[in-house]
Amino acid sequence: MDALIQHLDEGQDLSPAEVHAAAELLLDAKVAEANKERLLESLSKKGETPAEITGFVETFLEHSVNPHLGLLELDGPTIDVCGTGGDKLDLFNVSTTAMFVVAAAGGVVVKHGNRGITSRSGGADVLEALGVRIDLGPDDFGRCVQQAGLGFMFAPLYHPAFKAVAGVRKNLAARGVRTIFNLIGPLLNPARPQCQLVGVFSHELCPAFAEILQRLGRESAWVVHGTTGDGRSVDEVSLMGATRICKAGLYPHREDGEVRPQDFGLKHAEVEELKGGDAETNAAILEAILNGAETGPKRDMVLMNAGAALACAGLAGDMGQGIETAREVITSGAAAERLRLLREVSRSA
C-alpha cells in the first residue's frame, strides 16, 4: 500500500497490476481505513486516467453478484440508462422514467442504481415509491427482465464487497474529497449491458467515459453532458441548452457531437420547469408522463433521453427517429404498461 501511495504522490500512473492490487486492498476488510483514505486521496490528487478507472471497475466487478443474463433468451439489446449525479439541479428522475419508454420500444433495460446521494430521490427511491420491489436477487431480477423487458439491480445488494470501503467513503466525503467512487457508479453494472447511455456532470468527462466504456467492451456507448441556458451542468441530454455527445463502441474510433432541443422541434425549457422533489413527488411525475397526463417540458426531457438511448441501442436510425418512437410508445400506452408489468412481476417474487 505504501509503495502504491508513493507512486501516486510522485505523479506516476499505476500499471494494470498495481491498479488490481490497489482495488483488492480497498476491498480488504483487514486493511486499515486510514491507509485506504490515503490511497484514494492520492489517486484523486494525481487524477485518474481512463485506463486506471477501467482497471478498478474490472476488479470491483469481479467481486460483484453476477446476474448471468447470458443464460437468458432476450428479445432485444441490453442497455442501461443512467447518470453520475452531481449536477445539483434537483431534476425529476429522468433516466428512470426513460427506462420504461426504452423497454416499450424494444430495448432490454438492465438498470443498476442506488438511493439518492446527490439528489432527494435516486432511481431506487422513485421505483420503491411506485410500488416496485428493489431488493431482488439475480433470479428474480432475471425474471423481471424476461417477463417485463426491464429490471432493476439495487447497487448495495450487487456489490457486497463495498462494505469494506463504506466508512472510508463517508469520511472522505465529509472532508469534501472527491474519489474514484464519485465517478464509477454508472460503470459498475454487473450485467455488463451491450449498450449504455451515461450522463456525466462534467464536460471533460465525456471523452474519458467514452474511452472507458469502450475498454469495458460496450458494443455501443453514448456519453452525454448537457448544459442549462446559464451554463450549469446537466448529467442528462438537456432540454435547457446544448448537449455534448461522445459516442464509442466496438468500432475503432469515437465520435463527438452536439445537439440542442431545437434540432428536434422541441422547445427550450428552464430548470424550474424540470424540477423534481422527493420520491413520492417524482413518482407522480413519472406516472403522469407515462400515462399521457404530462405533455409539457418534463415529457420532452424524457423524449430526448429515451430517443438518445434508442439510437445508442440501434433501435432507431438516429436520435430524431428515436424521439418519435419514444413519443409513439408513450401515446400508445406501451410505456405505462412496462411500469405495470415491472411492478407486478417484482412484487410476485
- Compute the CA torsion angle 335, 338, 344, 349 (nearest 10 deg): -150
Cell numbers for 134? 428493489
- Compute the CA torsion angle 95, 100, 103, 108 (nearest 10 deg): 60
pLDDT tens string 84-118: 877 788 999 999 999 999 999 999 999 999 887 65
Nearest-angstrom CA–CA distance, 41 and 178 = 8
| Sign of the torsion formed by the C-alpha atoms of 207, 212, 214 and 215 | positive
pTM over 0.75: yes
Side chain identity at 95, as an amino acid letter? Answer: S
Q: What is the pLDDT of residue 122?
A: 85
Strand spans (E) along 114-185: 150-154
| Sign of the torsion formed by the C-alpha atoms of 57, 63, 64 and 66 | positive
150-154 and 108-113 beta bridge pairing: parallel
Mean pLDDT, residues 50-67 taken together:
97
Q: Which fold has domain 74-157+189-347?
A: Pyrimidine Nucleoside Phosphorylase; Chain A, domain 2 (3.40.1030)
Mean pLDDT, residues 255-270 taken together:
96
Tallying the residues shown for the chain, one arrives at 349
Q: Are 329 and 345 in contact (CB under 8 A)?
A: no
Whole-number mean pLDDT of the chain? Answer: 95
pLDDT tens string 182-223: 899 999 999 999 999 999 999 999 999 999 999 999 999 999
